[in-house]
Structure 1
Amino acid sequence: MRAVRLTAWQHEPEILDIPVPEPGPGQVLIKVAGAGVCHSDLHVMDWPEGALPYEIPFTLGHETAGWIEQTGAGVEGWSTGEAVAVYGPWGCGRCHRCAQGMENYCERAQEIGAAGGGLGRDGGMAEYMLLPSPRLLVPLGDLDPRTAAPLTDAGLTSYHAIKRSLHRLTPGSTALVIGIGGLGHVAVELLKALSPATVIAVDTAPGKLDLAKRLGADHTLPGDQDTESRVRDLTSGRGANLVLDFVGGQQTLALAAACASVLGEVAIVGLAGGDLPVGVGRLPFECPVSVPYWGSRPELMEVVALARQRRITPHVETFPLEQALEAYRRMREGELAGRAVLLPHPA
């Protein structure tokens, strides 16, 4: 089968032919319908050797959906051909957090090393993907798995970051979304679906601001030297009750801190590696800073339910698997609107 493999650090992946894996006892083989192209893949590729606890080579793709192809001995309750989403963060499956479905915060994460399929273990950018356990599956029902893959990261990560702070988004409140990329555009949809807050979207690309407007953003602002003052004007000087930074760079974090309100919150979701000083005078009073990571399996089920109700629909641009490098290039250059999805089995 064809697979997009990371074979060397600080190098582009390669599209190689590798054997189709056979599911052993307790395992599940899925036929991949769609695999999302995530900006965090670029961070993984760009790390120097030894910086991550991953062994290469491995197949990329931590945002995956497909159909059950084959189950190993002892797997019950799942049918061949059933459409499923793959829960991305793979923990130990037995610690207290994993037992609660929060494998994204597995207590043995450092011991395990690999974070999941596409993150140290073979992921979904291939014709087939082997899962170590059916606990990592979520039924998709009537959703098309070819375009549902972004729900497992772009949807889940945004949902987790927003859900934990919904108590701040009362009528009259404001949510600020910085970075309208693969995750940020879904965050705009989720905020409009789940809260009464006024949503302000910020990006440097006019096309991404146009997408945010189509998805329900109440205001769209270019990211420049006037953004802070415009946010203050739109909020009558108060600032935003929740600031979601889906970039995480030095400039965007400074903007996030400057735009947050007293009793607000800044959530750092992006992985660009910026620093946010915390202390008296650095942030408004009682303004916590959080660093949410991915989400729980129960939350993925809730995201799928929202998608099945057509309350969220990620904006997807599809590519055949053979064009994976082109999709990564366009993402690195900021040319994508929404989420790129690779299709190993085009219809």
Structure 2
Amino acid sequence: MKAVQLHEYDLAPTLDSVPEPTVSGPWDVIVDVGAAGLCRTDLHIIEGQWEAIQHPSLPYILGHENAGWVREVGSAVTNVQVGDTVIMHPLTSCGLCPACRVGQDSHCENATFPGLNVDGGMAERLKTNARAVVKLDQGLEPKDVAALADAGLTAYHAVRKAAPQLFPGSHAVVQGAGGLGHIGIQSLAAVTSAEITVVDRSEKALELAKELGAHHTVLATDDASVEKQVLDITGGGAHIAFDFVGEKGAEKLAPKLIHNGGSHYVIGYGGRVELDTIEIISREISVVGNLVGTYSDLVELMALTAQGRVKLHTQTYPLEAVNDAIADLEAGRLVGRGILVP
């Protein structure tokens, strides 16, 4: 089968011919991939940022945002059957460790992470397990939802976690209205009562943000201008700043956009959060990390998607054009999410 493989860090991945995955255990599920999302994490994987955390053996197949159709199942699988349309939670969890037992399967002690430490879904077929697959409602197509498996799930997880603090009259600031951020905006509009201000350097992204539920938008020019505009709009700072960028200075600006007692939710990454301890304690601010969401988060997000309350904005590419898609993502030419279709 055709697959996009990373052979060496800091070099472009290649389209190769590789053996097809096969069922080897009772909980295995083989999926015909209908679509695989391209994520900024894939750029960081290629750069080698995840090597120290995930220790993958190169070469391996990229792609951790995947949806498709069930092709084959192991003997113990009963929650899906051949032909079902499914989206995959990014992790294949064990169900037995303490984290899994309390529903925190994204922190599973025995998980594999297709696309990060084992073969992923930028290929014609993917091997996952029964605990990772979510059956999709009729009418949802893989190419329209694949990137919700990570970008959407991560954004929704952050919003879902913050929802108790976003009561009527509260204010949320969203930094970055791209692949993650545009789902975050819709999630905020769907599950909270917060007033939403969106900051982005792209006027097109801000136009999309207004369509998706943003009450205010701020064009990201210089930090001082952004800070002044946001503080004016929010009356002194937001309750929560959702940083979907996490690098290139956004991570340093976010704490300046919240009021005393507010929270900086870190979702994007690549940069470095630096705060004086006296600022943290005197302002009583919080810095909150956000990993990919749980299986339950993904089920809830799919329900919102089926209801039409969350929609993924995409640009599709054939699998062969993976490096064109990567170039567009790196250059900021993508509005929404890049989707590879085998």
TM-score by length of 1: 0.93
Instruction: State the distance in 2 between where 1:57 and 1:93 align.
Output: 28
Label 1:68 to 1:278 Cα distance change in 2 as closer, same or farther (>3 A): farther
Task: Please state how far the C-alpha of 1:338 moved relative to its aligned partner.
Answer: 0.3
Task: Please state how far the C-alpha of 1:252 moved relative to its aligned partner.
Answer: 0.9
Instruction: State the distance in 1 between where 2:234 and 2:78 align.
Output: 53
Residue equivalent to 2:52: 51
Task: Please state how far the C-alpha of 1:7 moved relative to its aligned partner.
Answer: 1.0
Residue equivalent to 1:36: 37
Q: 1:69 aligns with which of 62, 65, 71?
A: 71
Query: Counterpart of 1:164 in 2: which secondary structure?
Result: helix
Query: Counterpart of 1:120 in 2: which secondary structure?
Result: coil
Q: Which moved more, 1:334-343 or 1:141-150?
A: 141-150
Task: Please state how far the C-alpha of 1:48 moved relative to its aligned partner.
Answer: 6.9
Q: 1:134 aligns with which of 125, 130, 133?
A: 130
Is there any run of 5+ residues in structure 2 with no aligned partner, and where?
none
Task: Please state how far the C-alpha of 1:304 moved relative to its aligned partner.
Answer: 0.6
Query: Counterpart of 1:281 in 2: which secondary structure?
Result: helix
Query: Counterpart of 1:36 in 2: which secondary structure?
Result: strand
Measured on the aligned residues, the alpha-carbon RMSD in Å equals 1.7
Residue equivalent to 1:303: 301
Q: Is contact 1:260-1:284 (8 Å) kept? A: no
Tell me the alpha carbon deviations over residues 16-56 of structure 1, each in whole angstroms, 9 at most, x when there is no partner. 01122221232111000110000001001001795341111
Kindly indicate which of the two structures has a greater share of residues assigned to helix: 2
Instruction: State the distance in 2 between where 1:150 and 1:287 align.
Output: 32
Residue equivalent to 1:246: 244
Task: Please state how far the C-alpha of 1:92 moved relative to its aligned partner.
Answer: 4.2
The structure 1 segments of at least 4 consecutive aligned residues displaced by more than 3 Å after TM superposition are: 48-52, 90-93
Label 1:55 to 1:340 Cα distance change in 2 as closer, same or farther (>3 A): same
Q: Is contact 2:251-2:271 (8 Å) kept? A: no
Which AA in structure 2 matches 1:232?
A: L
Q: Which moved more, 1:245-254 or 1:195-204?
A: 245-254
Pair 1:120 & 2:117 matched: yes
Tell me the alpha carbon deviations over residues 311-332 of structure 1, each in whole angstroms, 9 at most, x when there is no partner. 1011111111111111111001
Q: Is contact 2:314-2:339 (8 Å) kept? A: yes
Pair 1:233 & 2:229 matched: no
Q: 2:141 aligns with which of 134, 139, 144?
A: 144
Q: Is contact 1:157-1:293 (8 Å) kept? A: yes
TM-score by length of 2: 0.94
Residue equivalent to 2:2: 2
Task: Please state how far the C-alpha of 1:278 moved relative to its aligned partner.
Answer: 4.5
Identity within the alignment, %: 36
Q: 1:162 aligns with which of 146, 159, 166?
A: 159
Label 1:141 to 1:265 Cα distance change in 2 as closer, same or farther (>3 A): same
Query: Counterpart of 2:296 in 1: which secondary structure?
Result: helix
Tell me the alpha carbon deviations over residues 258-312 of structure 1, each in whole angstroms, 9 at most, x when there is no partner. 0111221111111122223152225762221111100110111011111011110
Is there any run of 5+ residues in structure 1 with no aligned partner, and where?
none
Task: Please state how far the C-alpha of 1:57 moved relative to its aligned partner.
Answer: 1.1
Q: Is contact 1:199-1:219 (8 Å) kept? A: yes
Q: Is contact 2:316-2:340 (8 Å) kept? A: yes
Label 1:49 to 1:274 Cα distance change in 2 as closer, same or farther (>3 A): closer
Q: Is contact 1:250-1:276 (8 Å) kept? A: no
Task: Please state how far the C-alpha of 1:207 moved relative to its aligned partner.
Answer: 1.5
Residue equivalent to 2:106: 104
Tell me the alpha carbon deviations over residues 182-227 of structure 1, each in whole angstroms, 9 at most, x when there is no partner. 1011101111111111111111111211111121211111112300
Q: Which moved more, 1:20-29 or 1:188-197?
A: 20-29
Instruction: State the distance in 2 between where 1:48 and 1:315 align.
Output: 27
Query: Counterpart of 2:12 in 1: which secondary structure?
Result: coil
Which AA in structure 1 matches 2:169?
A: G
Query: Counterpart of 2:218 in 1: which secondary structure?
Result: strand
Instruction: State the distance in 2 between where 1:342 and 1:128 align.
Output: 13
Label 1:99 to 1:49 Cα distance change in 2 as closer, same or farther (>3 A): closer
Which AA in structure 1 matches 2:143?
A: R
Residue equivalent to 2:196: 199
Residue equivalent to 1:90: 92
Matches within 5 A, 1:181-220: 181-220=178-217
